[in-house]
Structure 1
Amino acid sequence: MKKMSYRLINLITFYRLAAAPVLVILLLCHQFNIFKWLLAISFFTDAIDGWLARRFKAVSLMGARIDSIADDLTVLVAVLGIALFHIDFLRAEWQLVAALILFYMAQNSIALIRFGKLTSFHTYMAKIAAVLQGMFLVLFYFLDEPLTYLFYITSIFTLLDLAEEIVLVLILPKWQADVKGLYWVLRQN
């Protein structure tokens, strides 16, 4: 049963990996209606695969790493759609967008330098940020006007998550996946 759980959960995660290039093609072909529905499905599968892995005790390092890559690709494709077809939104919010990009690049660069690989912490703050990102990005495509207040809330939590992950990269002695957060790491020491 556990082996079947691993396969099912990894299949859900692999869906997001496979969906990313399909979503890019849909964007380039101006198939926005199909794009927004598949994007919504991708964010939904992001919400359930981690929960299923914990529920069925089918957590693995490979699953955590693939999940992190699939998460990043899903967000990247959603932002690419905004950049291609709603650039005015990004121009209006360029300072906050620049801060998000800088923190993201810093977190990944420091992790690559320190550990030789990207993080897969899945902290509580990262989970909150991911839910907010999914809500904002899906609603961005389904509503006539973007919910700017939701963008600000999402950005704040994403910046807090990235800052926490930068600190975790700097203080953890070695790479590890599924870290609850800075509070728990400091409590262990």
Structure 2
Amino acid sequence: MDQPLFNFKSYRLQDWLSVYRLLAVPLLLYTLLSRQQTPFLLLLAVSLATDVLDGLLARWLRQQSGRGARLDSYGDLLTVPFMLASLFIFKPEFLEKQAVLLSILVGLYFVELAFSMFRYGKPSSFHTYLDKVSFLLLGAFYFCLFLFGFMEGLFYLAMAVAILGELEELILVGLLPDRRSNVKGLYWLLQGE
């Protein structure tokens, strides 16, 4: 049986790392709306680092759980939109130039989210390998954009992997009748793993 989401007494370190991301949302919102780019980027960097660390820690300690996957997914749902919103505020010229490709990715994300909500009654939390790689590439591109400027090759690589990741998640929602966490990916599902 899965652990209750808000039973704080049974939280492990990786759960608290995900909770940090949830608690950071008001600060992210404040720094974004007040156009404080450096504090915003620092808070976002810590949030994204804890996102990576919670999963690594759970796997390393062999303490992966449905609750941990849900906390991580909720953290993603609340943190990732700030990355896009920050582009509207801090990098509007980039958005104008890349609107089509970014719209495709965001559209696929919302289609997958809606399909998952329809099918399972809640967001998916597959955490596929492709999704993890796309997260790392998009995060690397995002911070490079702010620190060094537009890096075309990294952008197109990150977008290609992210779009493939969203398509894979759409297919997984279609194939899996029940919501599952920590699915390696479509290849492994089809192999019976």
Q: Distance in 1 between matches of 2:56 and 2:11?
A: 12
More helix by share: 1
Structure 2 gap ranges (5+): 1-7
Aligned residue number for residue 186 of structure 2 = 182
Change (3 A) 1:62 1:87: same
Which region of structure 1 is more displaced relative to structure 2, 166-175 or 3-12? 3-12
Q: Which amino acid aligns with 2:48?
A: F
Q: Per-residue deviation at 1:7?
A: 2.3
Q: Per-residue deviation at 1:4?
A: 9.0
Q: Per-residue deviation at 1:5?
A: 9.1
Q: Distance in 2 between matches of 1:118 and 1:28?
A: 27
Alignment of 1:82-97 (within 5 A): 82-97=87-102
| Greater relative contact order structure (CA < 8 Å, 6+ sep) | 1
1:188 is paired with a residue whose SS is: coil
Aligned residue number for residue 44 of structure 2 = 39
Q: Distance in 2 between matches of 1:31 and 1:88?
A: 18
Cα contact 1:5–1:56 (8 A) shared by 2:
no
Cα contact 2:35–2:89 (8 A) shared by 1:
no
Cα contact 1:17–1:70 (8 A) shared by 2:
yes
Aligned residue number for residue 169 of structure 1 = 173
Q: Please give the root-mean-square deviation of Cα atoms over the aligned residues, in Å.
A: 1.8
Q: Distance in 2 between matches of 1:149 and 1:51?
A: 28
Instruction: Tell me the number of residue pairs that the alignment of Structure 1 and Structure 2 aligns.
Output: 186
Alignment of 1:1-189 (within 5 A): 6-143=11-148, 145-188=149-192
TM-score, normalising length: structure 2:
0.90
Cα contact 1:107–1:166 (8 A) shared by 2:
yes
Q: Per-residue deviation at 1:73?
A: 2.4
Identity %: 38
